Amino acid sequence: MPPRHHRLFVAFDLPDATRGVLAGMTDLITLAEPLARAVPATNLHATVVFIGQATPHELEVLAPALFDAMRGPAVTTRITGLVARPSAGRARLLAAQYDDSSGLAAAAARR
């Protein structure tokens, strides 16, 4: 059996208040659109960079370096809007856009 692959990405956890606001918006969307599926609030996060697929072995090798790269000052952002992906007419995902005027999230993605 081939090794199972995992989606590998770097993300920031969200403050509880932000998570609550986004979860509330999700509740409203699922009420308005019966085919929409809500992501559990505990799974909400701010993705900085998507790396790709990784085998368990690759994940074991990469994880320590990724955690080291993410060390640094706290990142302060604010949600600036919502965007449908891949498009409004064919949305598979609704994502919150955030402002990174400090540049800290972008800097973390480059590490």
Per-residue pLDDT for 71 more than 70?
yes
* Cα dihedral sign, 70-75-79-80: negative
Task: Tell me the HSE value of 87 on the side-chain side, using a 13 A CA sphere.
Answer: 2
The two tokens of residue 13 are 């956890």
Buried b (16+ CB within 10 A) or exposed e, 72-111: eeebebeeeeeeeeeeeeeeeebebebebeeebbeebeee
- Note the pLDDT tens digit of each residue in 74-89: 777 788 888 888 777 7
pLDDT of residue 86: 78
The two tokens of residue 3 are 């090794």
pTM: predicted TM-score of the whole model, two decimal places: 0.71
pLDDT of residue 108: 65
